Amino acid sequence: MDAGILESTGLSPSEIAAYIAAVELGSTVASLIARKANLNRSNCYEALKRLISKGLVTSVNKNRKTFFEAVDPKLLLVLHKEKGENLSKFVSELIIKKELAKQDEQKATIFEDYDGIKAVFEDILKVLKKDSEYLVFGAVDVPKVFERYIIHWTMRRAKVGIRLKIIYHEEAKSFIQQTKKLPLTEMKVLPKSYVTPAAVNIYGNKTATIVWTEKPIAFVVKSKEYSDSFRNYFNLLWKIAKPA
């Protein structure tokens, strides 16, 4: 397996080594990734932080320790738009390694920065199929830097045939107007008194809570019970909300 092919994605040598080690080890701590990648702990930790910001690694705290896990290697193709034969073959090999490394399924995952948020949206398209329902409440205007991606993503969502029901805050005027034009989309609006600090996205048995700060962050929980409870809450809000 020629790891050098990953240089075409813009990753540094330390990031490549840390990412491959994370794929092979599954969810684990930085010290073990550093040992596997043959990096000193400081360099490994910095590489992992950069990989998190690029949406290729996630982190979660368990029992006062931080565990890192590589995301689906297919995102190398999506996020970096590299679809050459060599990279595709390399990604296929990484997918096999990640499957072999699977242990107990991680329940919660943190994604940081814009590439991390993109990874969440790509996961939505991966999880949901035609005629699936995707629910969102607490939606606000996304930052300008993210608008182009989200508009393109929304058209891909509609093309797949995923139905969206979304509840906006009335302050999200720009996206309310844009959403009205989209296929397979139902929308309603809540007044300012119902403003929440984050946007909640419910898809399949996953719930992604996104906070649009200067450095956005998403907290994704994989749990049927958790997502069902938020679906019930969404349905209550849907009855209260008004047509846009």
Q: pLDDT tens digit string along 205-240?
A: 999 999 988 889 999 988 888 899 899 999 988 988
pLDDT digits (tens, 9 = 90+) for 154-203: 889 989 999 999 988 766 656 656 666 778 888 888 876 666 668 899 99
Report the C-alpha gap between 40 and 14 in whole angstroms. Answer: 10
In the predicted structure, residue 93 carries a pLDDT above the cut 80 = no
Letter for the amino acid at 164?
L
More confident residue, 181 or 34: 34
pLDDT at 118: 92
Residue ranges, comma separated, of all CATH 1.10.10.10 domains in the chain are 3-106
Q: Are 216 and 114 in contact (CB under 8 A)?
A: yes
Q: Give the C-alpha distances (Å, rounded to integers) separating 180 from 44, 161, 198.
A: 46, 17, 22
Is 3.30.870.10 the CATH number for 110-243?
yes
The CA angle 57-119-169, to the nearest 5 degrees, is 130
In the predicted structure, residue 111 carries a pLDDT above the cut 50 = yes
Retrieve residue 195's tokens.
């403003």
Q: Are 166 and 136 in contact (CB under 8 A)?
A: yes
pLDDT at 99: 65
pLDDT at 37: 93
Give the domain 3-106 fold.
Answer: Arc Repressor Mutant, subunit A (1.10.10)
Q: Count Cβ atoms below 10 Å from residue 168 Cβ, excluding itself.
A: 23
Residue ranges, comma separated, of all CATH 3.30.870.10 domains in the chain are 110-243
Report the C-alpha gap between 73 and 212 in whole angstroms. Answer: 26
Retrieve residue 158's tokens.
């509609």
